[in-house]
C-alpha cells in the first residue's frame, strides 16, 4: 500500500496487522498536546474526496469530486457509486462537494448534497436533498432527489464554489457560497455569489431572514462579502454558525456570520491579491464585520467541526479546521468567540474535510487523486 503521508518526526508505527481486506489499513502514531493519537487509513482509492458524513450505524457517506457518492464500511470496504446523484460539472474546484445528514436522519433517511450544477452561463453551486435507500440492495441509491437551491447567477470560472452545509438548531440549513473569482459580486445583494444563504429544507425562504422584503436583494441571503468559505459548523451550545474562508494571498479568516452583515470581501482583506497588489486591511473599515480570527501566512482551510466527543477529553469544545496547505488539522481552543490557542496536528496530506464520528472518533479526508479516509483515535502511551 502506498503510504502518502509522513507523520511527525516522533511518529511510530503502532499497528501493521495483516489486512483482512484489500483496503485495510495502516496505522501510525503522532504526538499531540492531548497525548499520542492513532491515525488509521480506513480506506483509500477515493478520487479527491470532498465531504464526509458519518451515519448512525457506523458507516460513512463520502463524496468524490468527480461526481460519485459512496458508502464506506467501518472496515474500509467501499460501495460502488450510489445511483441517483445529480449531474455535476467536475472541472477545476467544482464537482460533487459536501454531504450532510438531516438532523432527523434516523427517521427520514434524508441527506443533502452540494455540487456544481451545469446551466446557462456555466456552473453554479446547487443543493439537492434525497432519501438514502434502505436495505442491502436499496441503499445503493438516492431516492426522491429534489434540487432545493441554485446559486444565481451561474459563472464560467471553475473556482470558489464555497459549498459547505450546516444545520442550525432550528432545523434551517445554511449554505456557504464562494465568489467564483468574480470579486465585487460578493457585495451585490442581487446575486448569491460570495454569500452565506439560509433556507428551509424544502428550499423555501425562512421569513426571518434578514433581507426578506428588501427590493433588489435575494431573500435567501444571510450574510455577504465572503470570498470562498469551504468550512461551516454550528456551535454546539450557542447554535451560532461559524465559517472559515480562504483568503487571497494569505489572510484566511474565521467568521461568526450575523444576519445581514457584510464580512468585507473584496473591500478589505488580511491578505493581498496573488498579483501582489495590496488590499486595504480590515481595521480601515470599522463599519464592516470583523473576523474572529485570521491567519497570515495562510493555512488554506477546508472542512470544519466542533469537537464534542468523549474520546479526546482534552479536545472538548475545540474547533477543528482541515488544512490543505498546512497538511493536517488545525485545532483551536476558544473562549466565547475568542481564539485562545492553536495546535497544528500534522497528518502529512492536504486535509479536505474533518468530522466527528458517532463514538467521538475523528474522520478526515485527504485531497488527493488516491484520496484516503483517516480515522483519529487516542493511542495508548
Select from 233, 180, 215, 223 the least CA-distant residue to 198: 223
Least distance (Å) between residue 2 CB and Ca ion = 39
- Interface segment toward Ca ion; rule CB under 5 A; list 58-66, 193-201, 263-271, 369-377: 263-271
Measured in degrees and rounded to the nearest 5, phi and psi for residue 96 equal: -85, 125
Q: How far is the CB of 256 from Ca ion (least distance, A)?
A: 12
Q: 95 or 225: whose CB is closer to Ca ion?
A: 225
Compare residues 115 and 246 and give the one whose CB is closer to Ca ion: 246
Stretch of 47-55, 75-83, 256-264, 363-371 contacting Ca ion, by CB under 5 A? 256-264
Rounded to a whole number of angstroms, the minimum distance from the CB of residue 291 to Ca ion is 5
- Measured distance CA(40)–CA(108) in Å, rounded: 32
- The x, y and z cell numbers of residue 100, run together, are 450532510
User: Is position 169 annotated as part of the catalytic site?
Assistant: no
- On whether the CB atoms of residues 227 and 190 are closer than 8 A, the answer is no
Interface region with Ca ion, contact rule CB under 5 A, candidates 96-104, 139-147, 258-266, 321-329: 258-266
Q: Does 264 bind Ca ion (CB under 5 A)?
A: yes
Phi-psi region of 57 (alpha: psi -120 to 50; beta: other; left: phi over 0): alpha
User: Is there a contact between 52 and 99 (Cβ–Cβ < 8 Å)?
Assistant: yes
Asked if 95 touches Ca ion (CB under 5 A), the answer is no
Burial label, 310 (beta-carbon count in 10 A; 0-12, 13-18, 19+) = exposed
263 near Ca ion (CB under 5 A): yes
Region 111-140 residues binding Ca ion, contact defined as CB under 5 A: none
- At closest approach, how far in Å is the CB of 280 from Ca ion? 11
To Ca ion, the closest distance from the beta carbon of 320 in angstroms equals: 21
Taking every pair of Cα atoms in the chain, the longest distance, rounded to a whole number of angstroms, is 64
Closest residue to Ca ion, Cβ-based?
264
Nearer to Ca ion, 178 or 264 (CB): 264
Q: Which of 124, 121, 122, 140 is nearest to 132 (CA)?
A: 140
Residues carrying an active site annotation: 160
User: Can you give the binding site for Ca ion, defined by CB under 5 A?
Assistant: 263-264
Amino acid at each position: 500500500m502506498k503510504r502518502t503521508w509522513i507523520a511527525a518526526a516522533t511518529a511510530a508505527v503502532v499497528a501493521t496487522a495483516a489486512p483482512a481486506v484489500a483496503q485495510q489499513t495502516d496505522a501510525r502514531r503522532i504526538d499531540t498536546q492531548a497525548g499520542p493519537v492513532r491515525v488509521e487509513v480506513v480506506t483509500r482509492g477515493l478520487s479527491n474526496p470532498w465531504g464526509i458524513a458519518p451515519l448512525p450505524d457506523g458507516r460513512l457517506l463520502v463524496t468524490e469530486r468527480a461526481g460519485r457518492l459512496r458508502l464506506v464500511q467501518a472496515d474500509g470496504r467501499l460501495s460502488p457509486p450510489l445511483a441517483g446523484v445529480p449531474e455535476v460539472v467536475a472541472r477545476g474546484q467544482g464537482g460533487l462537494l459536501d454531504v450532510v445528514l438531516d438532523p432527523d436522519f434516523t427517521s427520514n433517511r434524508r441527506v443533502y448534497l452540494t455540487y456544481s450544477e451545469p446551466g446557462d452561463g456555466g456552473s453554479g453551486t446547487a443543493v439537492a436533498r434525497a432519501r438514502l435507500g434502505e436495505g442491502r440492495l436499496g441503499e445503493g441509491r438516492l431516492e426522491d432527489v429534489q434540487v432545493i437551491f441554485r446559486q444565481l447567477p451561474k459563472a464560467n470560472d471553475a473556482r470558489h464554489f464555497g459549498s459547505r452545509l450546516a444545520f442550525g438548531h432550528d432545523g434551517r440549513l445554511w449554505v456557504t457560497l464562494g465568489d467564483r473569482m468574480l470579486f465585487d459580486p460578493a457585495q451585490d445583494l442581487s446575486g448569491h455569489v460570495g454569500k452565506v444563504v439560509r433556507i428551509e429544507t424544502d428550499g423555501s425562504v425562512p421569513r426571518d431572514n434578514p433581507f426578506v422584503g428588501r427590493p433588489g436583494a435575494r431573500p435567501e441571503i444571510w450574510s455577504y462579502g465572503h470570498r470562498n468559505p469551504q468550512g461551516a459548523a454550528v456551535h454546539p451550545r450557542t447554535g451560532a454558525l461559524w465559517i472559515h474562508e480562504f483568503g487571497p494571498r494569505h489572510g484566511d479568516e474565521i467568521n461568526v456570520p450575523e444576519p445581514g452583515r457584510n464580512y468585507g470581501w473584496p473591500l478589505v482583506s488580511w491578505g493581498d491579491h496573488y498579483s501582489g497588489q495590496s488590499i486595504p486591511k480590515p481595521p480601515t473599515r470599522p463599519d464592516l464585520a470583523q473576523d474572529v480570527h485570521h491567519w497570515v501566512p495562510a493555512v488554506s482551510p477546508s472542512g470544519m467541526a466542533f469537537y464534542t466527543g468523549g474520546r479526546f477529553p482534552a479536545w472538548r469544545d475545540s474547533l477543528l479546521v482541515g488544512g490543505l496547505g498546512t497538511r493536517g488539522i488545525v485545532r483551536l481552543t476558544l473562549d466565547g468567540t475568542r481564539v485562545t490557542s492553536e495546535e497544528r496536528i500534522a497528518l502529512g496530506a492536504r486535509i479536505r474535510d474533518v468530522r466527528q464520528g458517532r463514538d467521538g472518533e475523528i474522520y478526515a479526508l485527504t485531497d488527493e487523486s488516491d484520496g484516503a479516509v483517516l480515522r483519529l483515535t487516542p493511542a495508548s502511551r
